[in-house]
Structure 1
Amino acid sequence: MLERSVLMQIRLKNIQPYFFLSPYFLLFGVFSLFPILYSFYISFQKWDGFNEAQFVGLDNYAVLLTDMSFYQALLNTFLLIVVAIPLQLFTALLLAAIIKNSFKGKWGGALKLIHFLPYITTPVAVAILFQIMFDWQAGTVNMLLQSFQSAANPINWLGTVWGARFVILILVYWKYFGYLMVIVFAGLSAISEDIYEAASIDGASARIAFFKITLPLLKPVITFLVVTSIIGGIQLFDEPKLLFSTPLGGPDRSVMTIVMKFYEISFSNFNFGYGSAMAYGTFVLMFVLSMLTLKLFNRGE
């Protein structure tokens, strides 16, 4: 009896961790794993959410490969990514270096907080702010431009193709560069000052120290930021959707991103099968770009 009691206690101790972890696995299975698997199954169906689904095989993926509107959304997204990420990284490196070297203590913390605030601001508030700033008739930007040149006609920022793209680019740049700056600042703080002192003794200038010490040691941080920024850029939805809901995607669909296209196909046209195929196509695209970025930054290692 004693041996059986000991065995029971051992079994209970082995089961207890799984018992406490079971709520997480249950919630993960219901709200994450099942939707992922079910959406993959739906991507092989033709289904509007009401009528019975029809199996169509790879037809949805074949349509995706020939859908020019998807490629247009892809181009719009890439334009934002290619321009915004280098600007954000440059600003993040510059501000992080200035704050680390010139502002200590409370002033440095206050500056980091000020630049980080846009990142935690809700997309609705950001969209309203930019609508007020870039309004055609009473926008702050047009009023400032007209104050410098009284005869200048107001610019319809939100009503033209490149005006809309410029506004979204500025919005994305302003909202997210503070997050990159905080991460870069943490990376700079992890670099020992002894390395810079040794380089200074050896006669290295500030420019040489930056390119030979700072950038190589920040390489893992920069790689992380580039990969996550690419993923975040492909997932961009809230801000352009709130600014350009009617018509969706802005003038001539110039700011229609991939996720906005997915939203239109799935929840406006109720084509859930094709929408699921588009979602998985976007996942493959993010995976490939992430792997290429990692390979590019880690080449030679």
Structure 2
Amino acid sequence: MDQSHNRHCISCGATDLDIVWGVTSIFFAKRALNKFPEVVGQVVCRHCETRKFEIDLTEAHLQNLYLDYRGIDYFRERHGSEPWYTRVVNDGLSDDSHFSLRRQQLSQILSDAGLPDNFMSVLDHGGDRGQMLIDLNSKQKAVYDISGVTPVAGVINVSDKEMKSGRWDVILSCHVLEHVIDPQNYLQTLISIGQAETIYVFEIPHEPMRYFDFNCKSLQRRWLSWLCRKPKLLTFFDFLSSGMRVKFGTIGPLLFPVLREHLTFFSIKGVNILLINNGFEILASRVMTTGHIGVVARRLAL
């Protein structure tokens, strides 16, 4: 396969990498970048299977993308270019039955790490309305989210200043790491918020993807460059690519990874190495029955 020789894996630092050619989705390109779709490389580590889209983004681009996140305008714009992204799909991501299963798995992995369900203060960093905190036994439950949405009952919103001055027994980071531009910088931010005894819980999508030699070839790149100029055909192949990846965990020749929201895709090996390399000790780690990776960690003693 065509390899990347001047890069390294953000998780493990390996240089044994492939470049799989993909595209920015019509939705992402328009909403985040105000551009037409374009070819983008996805750097894939052969050692730990971390995959990261190689694209220059700023925080302003992400603010464009997540404005009114999953609201009416967001849904209409995304559904307009991705007909399979239905109202049911959009609303289901914030449905309590969805969160209920995830909360059960959260309790289980905390138990796996040998932690009692009895805390003084817990923080959900980037946690929307704090839905993941509902079942935790804690005197104070707080959420930090720039959206400013009203939290669920029993959870308070905290400002950036309040978050940084607080003392937190547990800090949750659920479905955030895959969205950030610089995962290592984000992890250091979380460390700076916590204390020596703080427990960290990460929940990350588990989306393995196999690919073929052709997906890394210059011919694939030229095919995608042409396809990006054909919106209707691009939408069709986007649907095929996404369907094959979701159903079979693979993308075939002529198909491709698509940049919609997630910038990085982690394997359980990759995220564990990333955390260890950034000063964490792993207490529990597994792929949960919800299809997500769950990790409980704490800071390594200095």
Same fold (TM over 0.5): no
TM-score, normalised to structure 1, is 0.24
Q: Which has the higher contact order (CA 8 A, sep 6+)?
A: 1
TM-score by length of 2: 0.24
**Structure number having the greater strand percentage:** 2
